[in-house]
Amino acid sequence: MVKVLMPKGSDTMTEGKVLKWVKKEGDPVSTGETVVEIETDKVDMEVEAMGGGMLRKIFVQSGKVVPVGELLALIAKPDEDISSLLKGEGAGAKPEPAGSAAPAPTAAPAPTAPSHPVAVGSPAPPLAPLPPSEVPALTVPSPATAASGPVLKGSATPSAREPENGGRVLASPLARRMAQEMGLDLNRIVGSGPAGRIVRQDVERAALLHSAARASGPPWRQGLAPARGQDARATAGETPALHELPTLPRRPAPVPTGPEFYDEPLSSMRKVIATRLVQSKAPVPHFYLTIEVDMGRARELRESAKALNPDLGLSYNDIILKACAAALQLHPHVNASFQGEAIRYYRRIHLGVAVSLEDGGLITPVIRNCEGKSLQEISREAKELAARARNRKLNPDEYTGATFTVSNLGMMGIEEFSAVINPPEGAILAVGVVAEKPVVVKGQVEVGLRCRMTLSCDHRVVDGATGAKFLQTLKQILENPVYLAF
């Protein structure tokens, strides 16, 4: 008898939602087959059967959210007695509606292809999508999970490697050599081969994670708040100090051997990004308008706010968000979306804030109803959402439904860039670095503080002049931020 439990997909995961039962009650199940798809913080995952038999009982129906470790289903031989578990563990689950104990073909979703089909040509388990939330951890599956319950493909929860195989770590000769050349500890790599043998792709994946973890800063720096370089918005306009640059490896990189590339199947986040951006760029006729804004007064505003309340941590991006909200109120035609037969003008201003994640990918949490929010409220909410975005703790309703988005790459020193519209929104503002530069004022060269912003517009909704007027207003507000006090 094999229990299917809600897996712990990451350190931060406390509960998960049953998305879809791939198998229904009465279906034969073999080891390694996907039984159910679940949704964690953000990513959808497949839960595999750790043993074969028949899916005898589903305790948690699609759409339900349950804590990690909850019994989702039982796999057993068709004639095996499961009554003890039906009473015991099943009691903890929601009681089934009467009559649904027997397999109900209409209620149970028909088996469909897994949402992450493994790319042909790649071995199944090791290359399965990695839950992004656990990416920097090079750890092994929890023995408890591995022993009794389901495991996530590529899942990893922190725990020490159990002594097995007489204490010897099983690894292919190639994996051993690669790990040595890359300076990776085999003890900290999860093996996907038979009996947990570490094979090439396990080392390659570990190397990727390792470099990702290194690039996100030394461990002693993580968790210090507010850490410079950690909060995109807080540091808008600041160039990273030298000591914050990722350190280069001291010894020369080994000469790469083996194939010249490998294919990493798309994570669900990467799939969504790919789909949505193509949905945007292909059908949406983009055009771009760039304007340079004097941020001198915005700096004064920031400094005054800091003097008033050092804990507030007001960033340029917060000011830009508030200014956008104000400008959108004056230019409702930019707060709009193309709907095929109509143009929809939003009466509310929901601002999306693009947040990049350390291990790649990005997500756009939404600050709702900005038209009625003060600068302080927007600042606080933006910070809170960004932090939770990085920890993958956003609820779906917190990253959907924006009417306008602001994307800021200033902290990376980018002078200006064009962003791809996040459909169905009508426009997106791309903000560059806030930097000192020589400017000509009344025939004299002076030091000015400038920021270049580019508005990408869906021409079906926003015409050139409409976008330009919005940018003009935005510039006026940012150059006279006292407006925001009214």
Q: Give the shortest CB-171-to-other proteins separation in angstroms.
A: 10
What values do phi and psi take at 385, rounded to 5?
-65, -40
Nearest approach in angstroms of CB 194 to other proteins is: 7
CB of 173 to other proteins, least distance (A): 5
Residue closer to other proteins, measured from CB, 164 or 263: 263
Q: Which residue is listed with tokens 């000015």?
A: 448
Tell me which residues touch other proteins (CB under 8 A). 30-32, 52, 119-126, 172-177, 192-194, 199-200, 257-259
Q: Are 454 and 419 in contact (CB under 8 A)?
A: yes
How near is the Cβ of 71 to other proteins at its closest, in Å? 24
Q: Which is nearer to other proteins, 9 or 126 (CB)?
A: 126
Tokens of 12: 């931060």
113, two tokens: 């292809």
Q: Which residues are part of the catalytic machinery?
A: 459
Question: Which ranges of 104-246 would DSSP assign to H, the alpha helix?
Answer: 124-127, 143-148, 173-182, 200-215
Report, in Å, the least distance between residue 113 CB and other proteins.
Answer: 13
Q: What are 328's two structure tokens?
A: 């959108």
Inter-CA distances, 388 with 142, 365, 444, Å: 25, 9, 46
3-state secondary structure of 68: coil
d(CA 141, CA 151): 8
CB of 193 or CB of 481, closer to other proteins = 193
CA 95/CA 59 separation, integer angstroms: 8
Contact 471, 276 (CB under 8 A): no
Nearer to other proteins, 103 or 123 (CB): 123
Given the complex with other proteins, which of 163 and 259 has the nearer CB atom?
Answer: 259
Residue 83, number of CB atoms within 10 A of its CB: 9
Contact 453, 431 (CB under 8 A): yes
